[in-house]
Amino acid sequence: MIEHQIKIERTARYFTLGELNENTKTIWFVVHGYGQLSQYFIKKFVNVVDSQTFIVAPEAPSRFYLDDNFKRVGASWMTRELRQSEIDDNNDYLNTLYESLFKNRDLANIEINILGFSQGCATVCRWFGAGKIKCNRMLLWAGFFSNGIREVIEPEKLKNVETYYIYGDKDEFLVAYPEISEKFRATMMEEINLKVVCFEGKHTVDEPTLKSIIAGF
């Protein structure tokens, strides 16, 4: 048996909040986690929008049913199958989205913030690591990289990017093995200039915490 791969064209979707126009000063890319859909994830950022803010929520192209009744649908950025191909495809997809939105637009006076949640953390790091996009701030929310930050991006690429790591003190995916989580954060702090924010809560984008972080920009 011989495995083969072929490049195909697919249709991806994304959702937005606000308007991209001459008044825009801040753009957010918000990237959901495993099993989520961007149409619901973007609702976490409704209170971030104003007349100068534009928010983009790309959706992972691989979808699946979450329940036995085949009603709830979620999406995933990648699995271990065809791992590198999926990483490359995600980068191509996000780069295409970025270029289509900002073609012929001057971004010199616009701040671009990128937020990844859970599985989306690795996705945004790999995307930015490809070196084709502008990023003023990177918010890594409740992500975990089993082999450390270097698994998803060269830390040097974040040296001029204001980078945050945000997590809940009761996050069911991060606090089950506290010694591993603590070592993970400590290692990241050694390799990049990281601002760590811990909030009271579980594995979610906590809106009051998000609002507080943004107020400090």
Predicted confidence at residue 196, as pLDDT, reads 96
Predicted confidence at residue 132, as pLDDT, reads 85
The CB density around residue 185, as the number of other CB atoms within 10 Å, is 17
Q: Tell me, yes or no, whether 206 lies in a domain.
A: no
- In this structure, what token pair is assigned to residue 34? 């495993």
Predicted confidence at residue 175, as pLDDT, reads 81
Q: Which residue has the tokens 């937005």?
A: 16
Q: Tell me, yes or no, whether 61 lies in a domain.
A: yes
Q: Tell me, yes or no, whether 26 lies in a domain.
A: yes
What does the chain come to in residues? 217
169-202: per-residue pLDDT in tens?
999 998 878 888 889 999 999 999 999 999 999 9
Could you say which residues of the chain have pLDDT below 70? none
Q: Tell me, yes or no, whether 201 lies in a domain.
A: no
Cα–Cα separations (whole angstroms), residue 158 to 86, 89, 121, 137, 191: 23, 22, 14, 9, 10
Q: Tell me, yes or no, whether 214 lies in a domain.
A: no
Q: Tell me, yes or no, whether 73 lies in a domain.
A: yes
CA distance 149 to 142: 13
Q: Which domain holds residue 27?
A: 14-161
Q: Tell me, yes or no, whether 176 lies in a domain.
A: no
Q: Count how many domains the chain has.
A: 1
Q: Tell me, yes or no, whether 42 lies in a domain.
A: yes
Write down the pTM of the prediction: 0.96
The one-letter amino acid code at 48 reads: V
Predicted confidence at residue 102, as pLDDT, reads 96
CATH number for the domain harbouring residue 122: 3.40.50.1820
